Amino acid sequence: MEIKKDSLENALNRKEEKQPEISKDMDKQGISKEMEIGFHQGSLNTLINERNELVKMIAQVEHVMQAHMKRLEELGIKINFGKPEENK
C-alpha cells in the first residue's frame, strides 16, 4: 500500500479547518455561553478519562510484552528492537 504524502497533508489540513465549527454551530443554535462552557468542560472531562484508560491499556500491553520477551530470552532467543546495525 502506497501512502501519498500530499493526500495525507491535504486531509489533515481539511480536518484542521473543520475543528472550529463546533463553536460556530453552537452560536447558530443560540446556545448560551454558560451552556457552551459546560459542553466543552464535559467533553474535556470525558476525553481525559478516555486518555487515562488508554494509558492503562498501553501499560498492560507493555507488561505482557515484557513477560513474553523475558521468557523468550530464557529460552535462548535474543530480542533486539533497536536500530539495525549498519554493515561496515
CA distances (Å), 28 to each of 18, 31, 32, in order?
Answer: 16, 8, 11
CB 22 within 8 A of CB 35: no
pLDDT at 7 over 70: yes
In the prediction, which pLDDT does 88 show? 47
The 10s digit of each residue's pLDDT in 15-69 is: 556 555 666 777 777 888 999 999 999 999 999 999 999 999 999 999 999 999 9
CA distances (Å), 20 to each of 36, 37, 45, in order?
Answer: 13, 14, 19
What are the residues whose beta carbons fall under 8 Å from the beta carbon of 23, sequence distance 6 or more? 36
CA–CA separation, 18 and 8 (whole Å) = 16
